[in-house]
Amino acid sequence: MEHSATTLSHSALLWLIPMFPFIGMLINGLFVRKSRETFAGILASLAMFCSFIVSAVVFFQLVGLDPHHRELTQTIYTWMAVGDFHANISFLMDPLSAVMALVVTGVGFLIHVYSIGYMKGDERVTRYFTQLNLFAFFMLILVMADNYLLMFVGWEGVGLCSYLLIGFWFEDMEKAKAGKKAFVVNRIGDFGFLLGMFLIFITFGSLDFQVVFERATGMDYGAGMVTAITLLLFLGATWKSAQIPLYVWLPDAMAGPTPVSALIHAATMVTAGVYMVARSNVLYMLAPTSLAVVGWIGAATALMAATIGLAQNDIKKVLAYSTVSQLGYMFLACGVGAFGAGIFHLMTHAFFKALLFLGAGAVIHAMHHHLHEIGSDADPQDMRNMGGLKKYLPKTYWTFLIATIAIAGIPGLSGFFSKDEILWKAFSSGNTAIWVIGAVAAGLTAFYMFRLVFMTFFGEFRSAKQGQHPHENPPVMTIPLMILAVLAVIGGWVGIPHVLGGGNHIEAWFHPVFAEAEYIAEIHQGYGIHDAGIEMTLMIISVVIALIGIFLAYHFHLKNREAGEKINKSIKPIYTILHNKYYVDEGYQATVINPILATSRAFLWKFFDVKVVDGTVNGVAWLVNWSASQVRKVQTGQVQNYALMMGVGILLVLLAFVL
């Protein structure tokens, strides 16, 4: 468990992992002409594939190492060294970043391939793949950095790419605006990260993970400084990973192309906050207050976003709120000290949520073409225009269904194992209230996801015209779906709990990374509950809750629609609030955005940037005597005003000294 610099192994391969997408980005950005869209797509996908292969090689290198020394590093060069301020460009591969790198490159590769089909025919495909590769580059920097500063480079970089990709279809003002909102919001979140970083530096004298965590173990449990650092970092994470109260940008970000939503806003970038918290596990464990904040924010977000998901009709919006909710689960896990479970869920979520988004993209793609053909201008994303699609899009339907079962938490599929691990850890660590919230949110998840499936794939097709119907998408889009479907099934098998006769390999795999934190937890919080009977009972309860959710969705959205309508009517006020997402966006607009704009426009601009020509003629002799007419025209009093204001400033400054 003791880390020391001498035990680190070096790997000369690490730099290649981010380098491939970077090269792909350069070639596509500089040399590939607009017209060669297929080539650009293949090149970008190939870059991702190479980087996936290297990640896998490094992964197996890690597996071959002694579990306690599973760390590979590579220092490229010393970035800067000013006095005691020191940072390297260097990469770290340990069990945690290895899983992240595999998810980013693996799922990223599949999404790149899918994009070739999805983006076909768009004018700016080359630019699209350039930006997608650039995103992958920054994301890999983020997860492979071995210090906070380099991590921050990735952190900012993914935000920038996310902005560019959300606003990719900028002809649509709404979409360009959504991109800008996401970037600005993220930038404000970076403020927390930056401040946290400053405090880490002055407290520990370094920004290297290794050094910081080693020195942190010498701090007092619950020390104020560590609490401040972790809260600030978490502030950064709440923006990046769309948690209460700062999640509003994520649903808007759905304006981007759907594969972008799958990659950035489901599988990778939005999980960066979870990764960062898990990476800083030692710091969080030393700050019980911060840990509680993380846990409760996560739980609250999981619940609130799930309730909003119940009343949305846009297929992507449902998935967006579902992502917010699932990210809440991951933070909930971190908050109860189960960092490994959180990252496990991050991984399985990457599989099934990427699949759900790509599936939704396939539906939208097919709907779009169909609506276009029949000359309708209905919204291709509105589920009320869909229905019965399983007949026309069988491959999409089956893969989508698998992902839905996985997210709903039905035993055997990936989502079940990771979600149950989280709930069990919440309960066994004594956070019963958080467990209850998590379990309820799980039921809601099952409900809204199956509602989505029933509304989309079952019943009658509601946009039929002259016997025309949507067509299944080409293999370049459906094959990635199938691969992801396989992963969504088996991806959780690495974490089958002991009570079910599994080995929970993923827990053992992550153990070296979180050992120090677990040790701190044992000292200060005592051991958790270890009782196979309780664990089994809880598992059964959560399965029953999920089944109830599915049954209700079936009952109200397929079997007996009128009953569903009736219920919606009878609880109209609640439904309206949910449908309008608790009016949070409107609240921000009124309380934050409008006042800032108004202040800037009305007050500051007028006051400090007064129009020269509007000035009143001033009588001070030495200016009036100025003869050149044009000069007089522009000098009408303004200078005196300036001088006056500055004179007042001087007086105030002098007064400050005298008093």
Partner 1 sequence: MNYDYNLSAIAVPLILAAGSVLVLLTDVLLGKKAKDSAYQTTLTILALAGVFCFTRWGTGGSAFFGQVYTDGFTSFFNLAFLTVGFLVVLNSPNYLIRNGIDHGEYYMLILLALLGMTFMASAGDLLIFFLGLETMSICLYVLAGFHKSRAKSNESSLKYLLLGAFFTGFLLYGMALVYGQVGSTNLAEISNYLAEAANPLGGYMGIGLALLLIGLTFKMAVVPFHFWSPDVYDGAPTPVTAFMSTAPKAAAFAAALRIFYHPGIELGIPWENVLWVLAVLTMTVGNFAALAQTSVKRMLAYSSITHAGYLLVGFLASNELGASGMLFYLFMYGFMNVGAFTIAYLVNRRGKGNYNLSDFAQLGTKSPMLAALMSIFMLSLTGIPPLAGFFGKLYIFSAAVQEGYVWLVVIAVLNSAISVFYYLRVMVMMYMREGEDLADLEKAPTVAITAVICGLAILIFGLFPSPLLDLARASIIALL
CA 251 from centre of chain: 11
What's the closest the beta carbon of residue 287 comes to partner 1, in angstroms? Answer: 18
The verdict on 639 binding partner 1 (CB under 8 A) reads yes
Considering the complex, state which of residue 523 and residue 644 has its C-beta at the smaller distance from partner 1: 644
- How far, in Å, are 161, 208, 251, 261, 441 from residue 321 at the CA level? 21, 35, 7, 12, 12
The verdict on 211 binding partner 1 (CB under 8 A) reads no
Out of 12, 82, 621, 625, the only residue in the binding site for partner 1 (CB under 8 A) is: 82
CB 144 within 8 A of CB 59: no
Task: Indicate the length of the chain as a whole number.
Answer: 659
Stretch that binds partner 1, among 407-415, 464-472, 538-546, 632-640 (CB under 8 A): 632-640
Considering the complex, state which of residue 159 and residue 480 has its C-beta at the smaller distance from partner 1: 159
Stretch that binds partner 1, among 49-57, 182-190, 251-259, 414-422 (CB under 8 A): 182-190
Stretch that binds partner 1, among 66-74, 372-380, 560-568, 596-604 (CB under 8 A): 596-604
Considering the complex, state which of residue 79 and residue 554 has its C-beta at the smaller distance from partner 1: 79
The verdict on 645 binding partner 1 (CB under 8 A) reads yes
Q: Report which secondary-structure segment, H or E, holds 315.
A: helix 315-335
CB 226 within 8 A of CB 284: no
Considering the complex, state which of residue 187 and residue 511 has its C-beta at the smaller distance from partner 1: 187
The verdict on 643 binding partner 1 (CB under 8 A) reads yes
CB 350 within 8 A of CB 103: yes
Considering the complex, state which of residue 12 and residue 30 has its C-beta at the smaller distance from partner 1: 30
The verdict on 187 binding partner 1 (CB under 8 A) reads yes
Count of other CB atoms within 10 angstroms of residue 438: 25
Q: Which of residues 137-166 bind partner 1 (CB under 8 A)?
A: 149, 152-153, 156-157, 160, 164
What's the closest the beta carbon of residue 594 comes to partner 1, in angstroms? Answer: 14
What's the closest the beta carbon of residue 543 comes to partner 1, in angstroms? Answer: 45
Considering the complex, state which of residue 78 and residue 560 has its C-beta at the smaller distance from partner 1: 78
Considering the complex, state which of residue 590 and residue 646 has its C-beta at the smaller distance from partner 1: 646
Considering the complex, state which of residue 161 and residue 303 has its C-beta at the smaller distance from partner 1: 161
β-sheet with 9-10: strand ranges across = 9-10, 72-82, 85-93
Considering the complex, state which of residue 540 and residue 634 has its C-beta at the smaller distance from partner 1: 634
Stretch that binds partner 1, among 194-202, 265-273, 381-389, 432-440 (CB under 8 A): 194-202
What's the closest the beta carbon of residue 124 comes to partner 1, in angstroms? Answer: 9
How far apart (Å, rounded) are the C-alpha atoms in residues 556 and 579?
17
What's the closest the beta carbon of residue 645 comes to partner 1, in angstroms? Answer: 6
Q: Report which secondary-structure segment, H or E, holds 9.
A: strand 9-10
CB 544 within 8 A of CB 446: no
Q: Which two tokens stand for residue 531?
A: 């009782």
Considering the complex, state which of residue 5 and residue 658 has its C-beta at the smaller distance from partner 1: 658
Out of 35, 63, 188, 486, the only residue in the binding site for partner 1 (CB under 8 A) is: 188
Calculate ∠ Cα 427-430-435, nearest 5°: 35
The verdict on 592 binding partner 1 (CB under 8 A) reads no
How far apart (Å, rounded) are the C-alpha atoms in residues 570 and 589?
30
What's the closest the beta carbon of residue 202 comes to partner 1, in angstroms? Answer: 5
CB 96 within 8 A of CB 279: yes
173 phi and psi angles, rounded to 5 deg: -55, -40
Stretch that binds partner 1, among 17-25, 479-487, 555-563, 607-615 (CB under 8 A): 607-615
CB 383 within 8 A of CB 314: yes
The verdict on 31 binding partner 1 (CB under 8 A) reads no
The verdict on 650 binding partner 1 (CB under 8 A) reads yes
Q: Which two tokens stand for residue 399?
A: 């893969």
The verdict on 582 binding partner 1 (CB under 8 A) reads no
The verdict on 195 binding partner 1 (CB under 8 A) reads yes
Total site size for partner 1, rule CB under 8 A? 60
Considering the complex, state which of residue 184 and residue 548 has its C-beta at the smaller distance from partner 1: 184
CB 399 within 8 A of CB 482: yes
Is the dihedral angle over the CA atoms 528, 533, 538, 543 positive or is it negative? positive
* b (16+ CB within 10 A) / e for 113-134: bbbbbbbeeeeebbbbbbbbbb
Stretch that binds partner 1, among 179-187, 298-306, 388-396, 536-544 (CB under 8 A): 179-187
| Alpha-helical regions (H) of 526-637 | 532-554, 561-570, 572-579, 584-588, 594-598, 606-608, 621-624, 629-634
How far apart (Å, rounded) are the C-alpha atoms in residues 630 and 628?
6
How far apart (Å, rounded) are the C-alpha atoms in residues 108 and 53?
12
The verdict on 6 binding partner 1 (CB under 8 A) reads no
- How far, in Å, are 167, 210, 219, 475, 525 from residue 225 at the CA level? 39, 19, 9, 54, 20
The verdict on 642 binding partner 1 (CB under 8 A) reads yes
Considering the complex, state which of residue 582 and residue 605 has its C-beta at the smaller distance from partner 1: 605
Site residues (vs partner 1, CB under 8 A): 77-83, 85, 149, 152-153, 156-157, 160, 164, 167, 170-171, 176, 180, 183-184, 187-188, 190-191, 194-195, 198-199, 201-202, 599-601, 604-605, 608-609, 612, 628, 630-631, 633-635, 638-639, 642-643, 645-646, 648-650, 653-654, 656-658
